[in-house]
Amino acid sequence: MNESLVQWVLLRRPEYLQERLGFKLERKLGENYTTDQGRIDFAFETKEEILVIELETGINNKAKFEYCINQVRRYREIKFATKKPVRFIILFDEENTSEKFRELLKDFAKKLDIILKTYSILNV
């Protein structure tokens, strides 16, 4: 299943998306939003903060891993016009991400205060 289709389904199942993210989503700010730093898959506002989500259908090789982390690094350079804090989330498929890359993601997330969340492609 390609990322566009997964994104389409997740955005039409807000209860599942909220459950997987662990946040009460107030409103969607955008999807497939292109910036100088890359294309944001989607962003939401919560009562307290802005969530910028990088969606991955699976990370099972070095190229996909590098692309994902570089994308999030670029997102962190965006100057958001908001008084709310901005949090960055990598939302990845738990079935198609190997343990090796899960560990690498955990290390990356810990160093840069990135939130890691998973979803199940089987549920999508």
Q: Which residues pair with 50 in a beta bridge?
A: 45, 86
Contact status, residue 81 vs residue 72, Cβ threshold 8 Å? no
Report the percent of the chain where pLDDT is more than 70.
99
Backbone phi, psi, residue 32, to 5°:
50, 45
| Global pTM value | 0.92
More confident residue, 96 or 3: 96
CA–CA distance, 123 with 22 (Å, rounded to integer): 17
> pLDDT tens, 23-52?
999 999 888 787 788 788 999 999 999 999
Domains (range + CATH), the chain: 3-119 (3.40.1350.10)
- pLDDT above 90: residue 6: no
Contact status, residue 50 vs residue 82, Cβ threshold 8 Å? yes
